[in-house]
Amino acid sequence: MDNVFIGSTLSAMSTGLGALLVLFLQGSLTHKWRDMLLAFTAGIMMAAAMLSLIPESLNSGGLIPVAAGLFIGVLTLTSMEKAIPHMDLDHSKSNMEIDPKAMLVVAAITLHNIPEGLSVGVSYALGETGDTGNLIAFAIGLQNAPEGFLVALFLMNQKMNKWKAFIIATLTGAIEIVSGLLGFYLTSYVEFLVPYGLAFAAGAMLFIIYKELIPESHGDGNERPSTYSFIIGILFMVALIELI
């Protein structure tokens, strides 16, 4: 019990550790850098979906959970896109708003953290020692750090206060603590759902990549640097996967 709580907490808080970097940034990003950031995020999410989430889902559940989870993830994000309006963040004269695209990215990251937390909890419960759970928690923590940084930057681009952006980005990872404990306690019931959850997360991320991030990063004359940034994002995640 102690191991799964500590492992889930450290993995989840890695998101906040990455988001912490935004507190040291000065000023705002130029449009070119914003497009490159969008493409870099798309590259990270693409690699995470295609090289981590989908293969793990396929290995643990087979083709049917992968297909079902992907379609459910895409349909869920489609519904969310239609339902999420602009949200007024501050009733001050600046009338700050958060773009629905940024909200979808935050939602996708949060959703994809749920099956990751379940994976940590299940790994601790099924392993005879805590080594397997520790490895999975470490691997997911490595992924969470850049995700937290990117989410916080998105929110800052919406003129949100740095501290608010940091807190919200951190909370997107905190859900892993709850899902990790749930996976540990309900292993016999939850284990078969993990491949569906992993594919669900992949579907949500692929929807965001193709529907929002790539078109947005290529719409203002920054196609070439954005393309390079996309490739760098893929390689960055590949390197993280290889390191673990």
Specify which residues 88 forms β-bridges with. 97
Alpha-helical (H) ranges within 128-213 are: 131-157, 162-185, 187-190, 194-208
**Distances in Å between the alpha carbon of 169 and those of 83, 143, 160, 226?**
21, 14, 12, 23
pTM over 0.85: no
Q: Rg (Cα) of the chain, in Å, rounded?
A: 18
Closest CA to 194 of 52, 110, 69: 69
How does pLDDT run along the chain (244 residues), one tens digit per residue? 677 888 888 888 888 888 888 888 766 667 788 788 778 878 888 888 898 888 888 998 899 999 998 998 888 878 877 765 544 334 333 444 556 667 777 777 787 778 778 778 877 776 655 566 776 777 677 767 877 887 887 787 777 788 888 898 898 888 889 888 887 887 767 778 888 888 887 888 888 788 877 888 887 788 999 999 999 999 988 887 787 6
Amino acid at 172: T
Whole-angstrom Cα distance, residue 225 to residue 217?
9
For residue 208, give both structure tokens.
């965001």
Whole-angstrom Cα distance, residue 119 to residue 132?
11
Return the SS3 of 88: strand
DSSP character at residue 179: H
For residue 162, give both structure tokens.
């740095």
- What is the separation of C-alpha 67 from the centre of its chain, rounded to a whole number of angstroms? 20
DSSP character at residue 92: S
Sole residue written with tokens 């953290």:
113
